[in-house]
Amino acid sequence: MAPAKLRLALTSKGKPGTEVSDLCTELGITRQTLYRQVSPTGELRAAGEKLLSR
């Protein structure tokens, strides 16, 4: 996952009404990839922090 996609996912997850399946389709990633980086509540996980710190 590219850092730009992760930033977009974080922004989108923070908005009410965001459908995870639509977000994943738009970003071209799987749910597993999304949830590895971002929690279901929209918080950055350790893997996401590592990705953004590069």
Q: What is the pLDDT of residue 48?
A: 96
Distance CA 1, CA 34 (A): 9
Between the alpha carbon of residue 40 and those of residues 16, 20, 31, 43, 54, the distances in Å are 12, 9, 10, 7, 23
For residues 37 and 51, the answer to whether their CB atoms sit within 8 Å is yes
Take residue 48 and report the two structure tokens written for it.
């996401």
Q: What is the pTM of this model?
A: 0.86
Digit-coded pLDDT (tens) for 2-54: 999 999 999 998 888 889 999 999 999 999 999 999 998 889 999 999 999 98
For residues 51 and 1, the answer to whether their CB atoms sit within 8 Å is yes
For residues 37 and 9, the answer to whether their CB atoms sit within 8 Å is yes
